[in-house]
Structure 1
């Protein structure tokens, strides 16, 4: 059977602005069918790396939060800490970044909670039904403590996965630091000797006795290391980095399996805005010009169908002159009519959707209903 995906464009009138259109969209898509009364509701979104201006404005989050509160839900906004070095590596900096970008209780009407705690180590171990690559996902505990999950996604390009939509926002975004390490890396973290000050904090945090001080820096025993990523979180000097060595297709499939762990056996709903479609993720501290014009807002109970519909509509859109995609098309060899593959030719975004469909998260087949 086809899943229902609801869509509205970005046109606005004097008596119907974009925020009102978003509320109308998600109501038409059936969000009120969920029993929110006295339930904890996590709205999973990306707060944006400071310096990036393509992330979703907090006004959109307030629409969703207000509606959920009106239906009796105990709602909060959430994201988990990053694996890479940036302004969202720990909960304190992450909250500072979220507030700086406008995500705070005054602007959104609800609290902001970092899902995996202060250092990215507050995680729940969640079984992945029929997981091929991951048997037990490491998910931010606050996400798993919620009764209901709503994903609010900025649909944009991504240099490793092709694009970032609902599946990536949930799967990668809800992983703890160890979870993100598991998805991104087939290997183990490494020490940057010239940055290491030999403080020994990584040795104290390692439960596997895998780190010792060498002559020049700390050193990681790859045989003992289990890739938990705690040493990355504890290092104040950013001297320990992940390997970033997983293949893109396997990365996509692991994202699908993490998504399955987060959503399995509890109510969920998904909203994607195909606007400001930058070539790279909002994790960048900058955003390039959008590769296509704004397309619209989408909503569905099925994150797989939602991602498929967004990709299809985005691929029908014209290419923005002067964008990175324009440059890529000038040297493209295969002539594929896929904006996201052409933007990052080494990616294969369909692998994530196909694996998610195989796991039973949803279907790529959809019926688009315009609101």
Structure 2
């Protein structure tokens, strides 16, 4: 199999060539202009960052990508799906407020912001993947309905998958709340009775009629009927319907790859990794720890598997930042940095599965721009 090409630029600048110029030069060299954007809806999948976390991609970079897509005739919008956990991005109203707070709005980025899976995370399309773990994937409607998908990914550590890059942003990030439940858990949801307000929203939303109020006037799930779709988790505003966090890291990584495959299945797609502010944990936390390595650069490719593999290789070749979590964990030269930070994870499983299902290639050629 021919190696995939991953294009890379460092962060050195000079008068007349700033980082936004370098981003434009990079993605054009990588071939983004080869995509037929004319009059097509373009979902730019990005993570808006949990307020309080400052490691997310700056809106200026998104604005540059939007401008290029518009010049090529496309109709771009920035998008993300709601979170499964209860936070400031768990519904579309709070999610949009958070995006605006972090600088993502039509004025700054030049296009509209759309929360892909709707107000409560229940608007999705089921896309057939017939995978090892998932027969279908529940993808946020706005992403599923788009003609083209561009992912802009902050490359950093992740407590469940080892690192988060293109596959994580595409797969977990595009799943509806029910889809995120499927990726996170091998079990059906549970009810925490003391949180239940007997509002009956979970009962109304359950397609299997598996939920009723018990003698304590709290929701109760009939597990003989429950199919684990996660709609009760999605609509519960009181954190009573909860995920059972019991999926293994390897299985979760493979499920994420299958969801990422569903997102780009049959569509033109292109991916950009920002290997900077490489914090040890996900941008879903409301804070970000000291990066584990110095800022490295930006990479782009049509192949998300090769892109993530090249990015992790670049991080593993970089020196550590003294005083970061790697110092605390007694890192030794030559060890895999992400597996050292999160010792119960194995990022290789997700990339290998992505290659197995035809998303891309682990073998790559790094082309410096």
Q: Could you state the TM-score of these two structures normalised by the residue count of structure 1?
A: 0.97
Match of 2:173, SS state, is: coil
Secondary structure at the counterpart of residue 151 of structure 1 = strand
What does residue 142 of structure 2 align with? Answer: 142
Give the Cα–Cα distance (whole angstroms) in 2 for the partners of residues 59 and 232 of structure 1. Answer: 34
SS in 1 for 2:144: helix
Larger deviation, residues 18-27 vs 225-234: 225-234
Distance 1:90 1:270 in 2: 26
1:188 partnered with 2:188: yes
Alignment of 1:199-348 (within 5 A): 199-216=199-216, 217-329=218-330, 337-348=335-346
Deviation (angstroms), 1:193: 1.9
- In structure 1, list runs of 5 or more residues that go unmatched: none
Q: Quote the offset at 1:336 in angstroms.
A: 6.1
Question: Corresponding residue for 2:41?
Answer: 40
Report if the CA contact (8 A) 1:162-1:349 is conserved.
yes
Secondary structure in 2 aligned to 1:143?
helix
Residue matched to 1:197 = 197
Partner residue in 2 for 1:91: 92
Tell me the equivalent position of 1:175.
175
CA distance in 1, matches of 2:229, 2:94: 21
Hey, what's the Cα distance between the residues in 1 that align with 2:366 and 2:338? 21
Alignment-derived partner of residue 8 in structure 2: 7
Alignment of 1:110-125 (within 5 A): 110-125=111-126
RMSD of aligned residue pairs (Cα, Å): 1.2
Match of residue 49 from structure 1: 50
- Quote the Cα distance in structure 2 between the aligned partners of 1:363 and 1:96: 38
Distance 1:170 1:267 in 2: 14
Q: Which residue of 1 aligns with 2:352?
A: 354
Equivalent-residue separation in structure 1 for 2:162 and 2:72 (angstroms)? 36
Q: Which secondary structure state, in structure 1, belongs to the residue aligned with residue 163 of structure 2?
A: strand
Cα offset, 1:46, TM superposition: 0.3
Tell me the secondary structure at the aligned position of residue 114 of structure 2.
strand
Maintained 8 Å contact 2:178/2:234: no
**How far apart are the structure 2 equivalents of 1:222 and 1:295?**
49
Per the TM alignment, residue 190 of structure 1 is displaced from its structure 2 partner at its CA by 1.3
Q: Give the total of aligned pairs.
A: 367
**Contact 2:157 2:164 survives alignment (8 Å):** yes
Shift of 1:173: 0.7
Query: 1:125 & 1:218 partners in 2: Cα distance?
Result: 27
TM-score (norm 2): 0.97
Q: Which moved more, 1:13-22 or 1:300-309?
A: 13-22
Contact 1:10–1:295, Cα closer than 8 Å, also in 2: yes
Unaligned runs of 5+ in 2: none
Secondary structure of the 1:269 match is strand
What stretches of structure 1 move > 3 A for 4+ residues in a row? none
